[in-house]
Amino acid sequence: MLVGAGHTHVELLLQGHRFTEAGLQLVVVSPEPAHPYSGMGPGLLGGTYSVADISLPIGDLAARTGARFVQQSVVSHNPQSRTLMLADGSALGYDLVSFNVGSEVPADAGRSAVCPVIPVKPIAGLAAAREVIEAACRAGRGARVAIVGGGPAGVELAGNVAWLLATLGAPAAAAGAESRVDLYASDRPLAGLSGRRQRYVERCLKASGVRVHHGQRVDVAALCGGAAGLLPSPPDLVLLATGIGPPRALDAFGLPCAPDGAILVDRYLRAQGAEHVFAVGDCASFAEEPLDRVGVYAVRMQRVLLRNLLATAAGTPLQPFTATGPYLGGLNLGFGRGILYRGPWTLRGRPAFRAKDWIDRRFVRRYQRPVA
Ligand SMILES: Cc1cc2nc3c(=O)[nH]c(=O)nc-3n(C[C@H](O)[C@H](O)[C@H](O)COP(=O)(O)OP(=O)(O)OC[C@H]3O[C@@H](n4cnc5c(N)ncnc54)[C@H](O)[C@@H]3O)c2cc1C
């Protein structure tokens, strides 16, 4: 049973024949028949990609590789009776389960009755955000967009909103323009970067017309209400990029969790104390060492999870997950610019955007093309 179809499970679906050959029935439970790939989410907002470009076709993949697709969310889990409860009130039993249910912006991060507030996750919300901006520009008054959170996601969103506005003919940087993009960052380094990398990101945002407010922890309700000192008038849209955490639903999964609420897993990606339960990606907390919540680690877990599910079913030894080393970080800064970095190495500007675009498109195409 695969619960959620994130970066790890999508590969297991592609290799569904491995389960069939082992005499196992693969079932995937996901609320969405297509999963938008987060690495391309900012580009979806900025207009580089369509929803189809970034979609991992979960339902189709399952059909093509002989897995059963159940379009539902899991709301609770009983590891003793090996039962999942679904949002429609039905139950599913299993022999072996793996959770790859990702992460979310905490619900208490902010809301308002006055203007739309869209969190950066789920990624599908970014398509809705683009529509809000396009509608405001069609109405002829430009769009005022506030982004709360100056981490990598907030920076990518700011650059891409500015690019979208420029494409729509309502650039945030133009003199007298009604459009504006405000990025509210706390006092931590912008995008989590330092030195020359951070200065480059700052320069790109400035050139794009983004107004960066450092050291400002804003209250979303006050921001939407046009509170004095924040914005001259309420924004058309607030994008929330205040950090992601494990889904609250995990509270009802009956499994040992880390202090942040993620499922604690051992070196074999097995939930602690439950040999028939695995967890991967953002929803898992790797007990051996803390890992950043990035898709790269979820992708690196694909091979070990596939092997360990088959090994558990066959009663053969499991393989530890050891690919915890440094990874290639990358930001799409809008206007066809980006930055890629790993260790002391950095690539900036258009070559960085093109390289990130190539890596991301290659990842998605692997799952979009017909199964051989
Ligand atoms: C704007 C943005 C850009 C990013 N760019 C990058 C990048 O370039 N590179 C990078 O490495 N990381 C990037 N990240 C981080 C990355 O998004 C996450 O680390 C990654 O999505 C984690 O993958 P995952 O497989 O754990 O979960 P996800 O990809 O989030 O997938 C989780 C799946 O589980 C499903 N699900 C959720 N709850 C349930 C439930 N109760 N029942 C059933 N199914 C459920 C969801 O519908 C979804 O399909 C970015 C994040 C953001 C917000």
Ligand 1 atom with least separation from CA of 297: 11
**Residue 33, ligand 1, Cβ within 6 A:** no
Instruction: Give the H/E segment covering residue 206.
Output: helix 195-207
**Domain ranges in the chain with CATH number 3.50.50.60:** 2-103+245-327, 107-240
Residue 334, pLDDT > 70, answer yes
107-240: which CATH architecture? Answer: 3-Layer(bba) Sandwich (3.50)
Give distance in angstroms: CA of 231 to centre of ligand 1: 32
Query: Is residue 296 a contact partner of residue 327, using CB atoms and an 8 Å limit?
Result: yes
Residue whose CA is closest, atom 8 of ligand 1? 39
Phi-psi region of 249 (alpha: psi -120 to 50; beta: other; left: phi over 0): alpha
Taken in order 317, 29, 109, 143, the sign of the CA dihedral is positive
Query: Please, how many CA atoms are within 13 Å of residue 196, restricted to the half-sphere of its CB?
Result: 8
Q: What is the pLDDT of residue 219?
A: 84
Q: Tens digits of per-residue pLDDT, 309-332?
A: 999 999 999 999 999 999 999 999
Rounded Cα distance between 202 and 204, Å, is 6
The angle formed by the CA atoms of residues 29, 33 and 37, to the nearest 5 degrees, is 100
The pLDDT-based confidence of 250 (bands split at 50, 70, 90) is very high
Q: Where is average pLDDT lowest: 58-62, 168-172, 359-363?
A: 168-172
Query: Please, how many CA atoms are within 13 Å of residue 318, restricted to the half-sphere of its CB?
Result: 18
**Residue 300, ligand 1, Cβ within 6 A:** no
Q: Tens digits of per-residue pLDDT, 340-352?
A: 999 999 999 999 9
Query: Is residue 334 a contact partner of residue 46, using CB atoms and an 8 Å limit?
Result: yes
**Residue 302, ligand 1, Cβ within 6 A:** no
**Residue 76, ligand 1, Cβ within 6 A:** no
The angle formed by the CA atoms of residues 136, 138 and 139, to the nearest 5 degrees, is 65
Among 35, 54, 294, 356, which residue has the most ligand 1 atoms within 8 Å of its CB, making it the best to mutate? 294
Taken in order 204, 209, 215, 217, the sign of the CA dihedral is negative
Q: What is the dihedral of CA 30, 35, 38, 41, to 10 degrees?
A: -140
Q: How much is the average pLDDT of 235-249?
A: 93
Q: What is the pLDDT of residue 174?
A: 67
How many other CB atoms are found less than 10 A from the CB of residue 156? 27
- 80: nearest Cα among 68, 59, 94: 94
**Residue 181, ligand 1, Cβ within 6 A:** no
Residue 228, pLDDT > 60, answer no
Q: What is the pLDDT of residue 372?
A: 59
Q: How much is the average pLDDT of 176-200?
A: 89
Q: Which own/partner contact pairs does 53-56 have at CB distance under 8 Å and 24+ positions apart?
A: 53/361, 53/364, 54/123, 54/364, 55/364, 55/368, 56/5, 56/10, 56/364, 56/367, 56/368
- This prediction has a pTM of 0.95
Ligand 1 atom with least separation from CA of 241: 53
Pick one of 3.90.1580.10, 3.50.50.60, 1.10.3470.10, 3.30.56.10 as the CATH number of 2-103+245-327. Answer: 3.50.50.60
Q: What is the dihedral of CA 232, 235, 169, 208, to 10 degrees?
A: 80
Q: What is the pLDDT of residue 234?
A: 83
| DSSP single-letter state for residue 202 | H
Q: Tens digits of per-residue pLDDT, 69-123?
A: 999 999 999 999 999 999 999 999 999 999 999 999 987 767 777 789 999 999 9
Percent of the chain with pLDDT over 70: 96
Residue 258, pLDDT > 80, answer yes
Among 27, 32, 101, 302, which residue has the most ligand 1 atoms within 8 Å of its CB, making it the best to mutate? 101
Residue 190, pLDDT > 70, answer yes
